[in-house]
Amino acid sequence: MQRIRLRYTKRGRLRFTSHRDFQRAFERALRRSEVPMAYSAGFTPHPKVSYANAAPTGTGSEAEFLEIALTEARDPAVLRGLLDASMPDGLDIVDAVEARTSGLAERLTASVWEMRLDGVDPEDVRTAVAAFNDAGTVEVQRKAKNGIRTFDARAAVADLRVVDASADRPVERPCAILRLVVRHVTPAVRPDDVLSGLRAVADLAPPVPAAVTRLAQGLFDEESGTVTDPLAPDREAAPTAHPAVAGAAVATAPEGAGSA
């Protein structure tokens, strides 16, 4: 059995796709691409697909991950192209590697998020960010199945800052861009929880909902404060192919299969 790990995106209007909707679209793509999937045993077999830490509905993402199990070996690059061509625009399969290490989910320990706050002056946001970063704890509330839950949104935030948005907004309309690194903890702290925290410490209330995008997720490096590529260990563990062998593999790939 071969295992392939894929990175995919949720862009544009497809950010409003639910996880269940994505699952249906992806399973259709598997059938259209004639991927030799491994199936579970039992009365209702289903393809062996493992999803890891999907982004909330309504948020965009450049870094969603899943893993599939195959009954026959396939070239990850060719497989990526076939699947991407069968997916709706916006749900794009952008990377694929053969799984050569264990514990993909265990390497997803933090996310880098970007929040666009239209109609908010960047200086007001900088003041709110400074108050949030200086706070020891920032308690926020979220509605849960069992009622209202109160938790600390500050401890999970490894970095929060305002980035320059001058090149990405009309000059007549104020706009602030927040970049934050959030550790994956329990209970999970989401970008909207951080916005609630900014409201709690500085009464910051954007006039329109924030546009939220996950830029990356992976293993959090405490020393550098960065989030590393979770597929890198699989690439590093891959054997180095001889140039002649690699050329032959490319030559035998179906024409156009490697392009999105």
pLDDT at position 259: 40
Cα 184 to its chain centre, rounded Å, is: 12
3-state helix, strand, coil in the chain (%, to 5): 30, 30, 40
pLDDT at position 173: 81
CATH of domain 2-99: 3.30.70.580
Domain 107-228 annotated CATH 3.30.70 = yes
75 vs 78: CA distance, rounded Å = 5
Q: Is the per-residue pLDDT at 260 higher than 60?
A: no
Mean pLDDT over each residue of the chain, to the nearest integer: 89
Residue 120 · residue 203 · CB < 8 Å: no
7 vs 62: CA distance, rounded Å = 8
Q: Is the per-residue pLDDT at 157 higher than 80?
A: yes
Give 114's pLDDT tier (boundaries 50, 70, 90): very high
Average pLDDT over residues 125-130: 97
pLDDT at position 243: 46
pLDDT at position 144: 82
Q: Is the per-residue pLDDT at 247 higher than 70?
A: no
Residue 217 · residue 111 · CB < 8 Å: yes
Give 257's pLDDT tier (boundaries 50, 70, 90): very low
pLDDT at position 150: 94
pLDDT at position 69: 97
Residues 188-220 pLDDT 10s: 999 999 999 999 999 999 999 999 999 999 999
Give 233's pLDDT tier (boundaries 50, 70, 90): very high
Burial group, residue 161, by CB count within 10 angstroms (0-12, 13-18, 19+):
middle
Strands 110-118 vs 211-221: parallel, antiparallel or unpaired: antiparallel
pLDDT at position 170: 54
Residues 62-72 pLDDT 10s: 999 999 999 99
Q: Is the per-residue pLDDT at 239 higher than 70?
A: yes
pTM for the whole structure = 0.86
> How long is the chain?
260
143 vs 150: CA distance, rounded Å = 9
Domain spans of the chain, in order of start: 2-99, 107-228
Eight-state DSSP code of residue 242: P
What sign does the CA torsion over 189, 192, 193, 198 have? positive
Q: Is the per-residue pLDDT at 87 higher than 60?
A: yes
- The residue ranking higher by pLDDT, 240 or 121, is 121
pLDDT at position 210: 95
Average pLDDT over residues 158-162: 96
Contacts of residue 183, defined as CB under 8 A and 6 or more positions apart, other chains included, come to 109, 110, 156, 157, 158, 189, 220
